[in-house]
Amino acid sequence: MSTEFPAFDHLSVTGEGHVEAVPDRAVIAITVEATDQVLSRAQSEANRRMAQVLAALREHGLADERIRTAWYDATPLRDYNRPRRPTTGYTVSHRVRVTVEPVERAAELIDAAVAAGASDVDLIRFEVSDQSALMQEVRALAMADAREKARHLAELAGRRLGKAVRITVDGYRPRRLYAPDYVFYSASYPLPRDSYQTELRPGTVEFSLTVSVTFALED
């Protein structure tokens, strides 16, 4: 016998819950790159520039535990127009991911990293550090939505809604809102020293949850 559906009269619906919250932290990717014909020189230059960036972040109060290496790569550059594609140089990339709290300090640290020699600053992400209370609210809203839909459908069918006999969480979707088109700076387009300071508008973070609920139907 199939157990896909209950053997008694029932009604299955989906409910959705949505909550928006103001983010309290930002996660930023900061990269330095260096290119040279000799790998050791490219690596040394990348290390020097990253040391300057990290020193600037620390001077602005960012603790070491908020800094994590996200990527390190040494890539050979080849001349594809010549036979055997000889190596002509190397590019070394070093990326760190920094977590900033409160979120209002993110712009200040971006400016500090760029001034210290960062090649790229991108992929800024705004987050809510404590999501437990928000998720409780989202679950409550999703269940309330499912119950109200089921109650109305049961009423239209001339039945009474019984207890919930099956609950399935179909999806938890935190939708983090990013800075418009990302925040992206490149050393190829350096900012002048008298340029305006960075201004960020974090907006909100949306948390969504969908539940599927099966209710018994009563006469």
Both 32 and 102 in a single domain? Answer: yes
Q: Is 54 part of a structural domain of the chain?
A: yes
pTM (2 d.p.): 0.74
- Digit-coded pLDDT (tens) for 52-104: 999 999 999 999 999 999 999 999 999 989 898 999 999 999 999 999 999 99
Both 4 and 67 in a single domain? Answer: no
> Which pLDDT does position 10 carry in this prediction?
93
What DSSP line would sit under 72-83, residue for residue?
A: EEEEEEE-TTST
Tell which of 127, 152, 172 closes a domain: 127
Q: Is 197 part of a structural domain of the chain?
A: no
Q: How many domains does the chain have?
A: 2
Q: Is 153 part of a structural domain of the chain?
A: yes
Both 5 and 29 in a single domain? Answer: no
Q: Which residue has the higher pLDDT, 26 or 188?
A: 26
> Which pLDDT does position 77 carry in this prediction?
95
Q: Could you tell me which residues are beta bridge partners of residue 20?
A: 206
Is pLDDT at 196 greater than 60 in this prediction?
yes
> Which pLDDT does position 177 carry in this prediction?
47
Both 105 and 50 in a single domain? Answer: yes
Both 69 and 110 in a single domain? Answer: yes
Is pLDDT at 144 greater than 50 in this prediction?
yes
> Which pLDDT does position 6 carry in this prediction?
65
Both 13 and 30 in a single domain? Answer: no
Tell me which residue has tokens 């790569």.
73
C-alpha distances in angstroms, 5 versus 56, 148, 151, 215?
61, 21, 19, 11
Provide the residue range defining the domain that includes 107: 24-127
User: Which residues, 6+ apart, have CB-to-CB distance to 158 below 8 Å?
Assistant: none
- Tell me what the mean pLDDT of segment 122-128 comes to: 88
| Class of residue 98 by CB neighbours under 10 A (exposed 0-12, middle 13-18, buried 19+) | buried
- Digit-coded pLDDT (tens) for 7-22: 789 999 999 999 999 9
Both 145 and 87 in a single domain? Answer: no
Extended beta strands in the chain, E state: 10-21, 25-36, 67-78, 87-100, 120-127, 160-175, 185-186, 205-218
Q: Is 72 part of a structural domain of the chain?
A: yes
